[in-house]
Amino acid sequence: MPQSVTEAAVRLRDAIREATAGLVEREHLAELLILAAVAQEHLLVIGPPGTAKSAVVRRVAQSLGGNYFEYLLGRFTEPSELFGPVNLSKLREGLVETDVSGMLPEAEIAFLDEVFLGSTAILNTLLGLLNERQFRRGHTRLRCPLRVCVGAANGLPEDEGLAAFADRFLLHVFVDAVPDNRLEDLLAGGWAVGQQSVTARADLTSLDLLNRAVPDVDMSMVRADLAQAIRLLRQANVQLSDRRIVKAQHLIAAATVLAGRQVATRADLWPLVYAIPTSGGQQNAREALRDVLAEARHPLLHAVVEEAVQQPLARVARMAETADQILAQEDAAQAGKQAETLLREIDANFDLADLPTELAARRGRLVAAVGAR
């Protein structure tokens, strides 16, 4: 794979780190946003209020640059609040045109909170914008530069019409409040986030470069595995529409590109979990696809793969990176303490005889760091 594509992927990884610094348990959300953007698909985030959904999207957008649009929808939101007002000078000439300056049709990254509260007029217009990157209203016809739209809501809608709209977001992720054992991290991180600004670590040029690489991915080696995964999901009563099955290939190809490869393998099948639209369905998929996803791993997207498959190999890249950070510390006492914690995690996941090569040498150095404390 050309070096420029690899470098672009690393720059996006740097953007994720910058965006999620201090945001506890939200790394997987930022990584999934990047995957969606590379695949040119959209992301739906379901979770209670106050769980940093908007903060993650806003900070990732700041780290990527480009035009960002954010809006909280309500029952009485007017289409003009999202798409812009009617151009009065054109109206006098008998043309119904929309002034989209600074509005959603000009956005490159968008976040729509409480997206299911939009009116029928808003949702119908959004469908064209999301599916075709086209804005149509009155006499206005525009090609939109939108890379990714993130919709958020407290729960999935029960109304069939709204459920059909939700299905237009290929990726679904479910977030909860930070667990009790990480409350100290939440407090410390939240305090730091309030005092830090986000700087651009990547740009949309990097994203576009990766976008163009996705159609060139060779999917032939993994297609039979993907088909078998769908059969296993059906046996577990986890249903996916034909459209979602076909489009899941875009996610797998995007994961392959971000991993610096041109040929998809079983290691790249993990995005299929997020193409399942319900929380219960995703959990059932983890069990049904346990063997299929056993090889899942990614060199850059650590958190989202761990969350998707919850298996040992998915943790290897993150543990290796953490080991390098610990071993680079100058404070021997602090490094020894952290090394001890990481060693417990490594040994809980792997027998010494089956230790992955990425961890074997690092484990020896971690043991030495503990002994030097």
Q: Are 231 and 127 part of one and the same domain?
A: no
Q: Does any domain span residue 11?
A: yes
Q: Are 283 and 328 part of one and the same domain?
A: no
Query: Helix (H, G, I), strand (E, B), or coil: what is residue 202?
Result: coil
Q: Are 21 and 102 part of one and the same domain?
A: yes
Residue 322: Cβ within 10 Å count:
20
pLDDT at 44: 97
Q: Does any domain span residue 321?
A: yes
Report the C-alpha dihedral over residues 13, 15, 17, 21, rounded to 10 degrees. Answer: -170
Q: Look at residues 302, 327, 359 and tell me which one is the last residue of a structural domain.
A: 302
Q: Are 185 and 321 part of one and the same domain?
A: no
Q: Are 105 and 9 part of one and the same domain?
A: yes
* pLDDT tens string 238-296: 989 999 999 999 999 999 999 999 999 999 999 999 999 999 999 999 999 999 999 99
pLDDT at 88: 67
Q: Does any domain span residue 94?
A: yes
pLDDT at 91: 65
Is residue 86 within 8 A of residue 119, CB to CB? The reply is: no
Distance between terminal CA atoms of the chain? 43
* pLDDT tens string 39-77: 999 999 999 998 889 999 999 998 888 899 999 999 999
Q: Are 11 and 107 part of one and the same domain?
A: yes
Q: Are 283 and 223 part of one and the same domain?
A: yes
Query: Helix (H, G, I), strand (E, B), or coil: what is residue 265?
Result: coil
Q: Could you please report the per-residue DSSP string of 315-348?
A: GHHHHHHHHHHHHT-S-HHHHHHHHHHHHHHHHH
Q: Could you please report the per-residue DSSP string of 11-35?
A: HHHHHHHHHHTT-TT-HHHHHHHHH
pLDDT at 106: 96
Q: Are 175 and 132 part of one and the same domain?
A: yes
Q: Are 14 and 92 part of one and the same domain?
A: yes
Q: Are 139 and 282 part of one and the same domain?
A: no
Q: Look at residues 271, 302, 333 and tell me which one is the last residue of a structural domain.
A: 302
82/87 Cα distance (integer angstroms) = 15
Q: Are 91 and 162 part of one and the same domain?
A: yes
pLDDT at 2: 47
Q: What is the tally of structural domains in the chain?
A: 3
Q: Are 337 and 283 part of one and the same domain?
A: no
Q: Does any domain span residue 126?
A: yes
pLDDT at 373: 59
Question: Residue 310 contacts by C-beta under 8 Å, 6 or more apart in sequence?
Answer: 286
Q: Could you list the residue range(s) of the whole structural domain that residue 74 is in? A: 3-193
Is residue 136 within 8 A of residue 124, CB to CB? The reply is: no
Q: Does any domain span residue 206?
A: no
322/27 Cα distance (integer angstroms) = 15
Residue ranges of the chain with pLDDT lower than 50? Answer: 1-2
Residue 258: Cβ within 10 Å count:
28
* H helix or E strand, kind and range, residue 205: helix 204-213
Tokens representing residue 190 in the block: 């939240």
HSE at residue 12, side-chain half, CA atoms within 13 A, is 32
Q: Does any domain span residue 200?
A: no
Q: Which residues pair with 174 in a beta bridge?
A: 46
Q: Look at residues 193, 225, 245 and tell me which one is the last residue of a structural domain.
A: 193
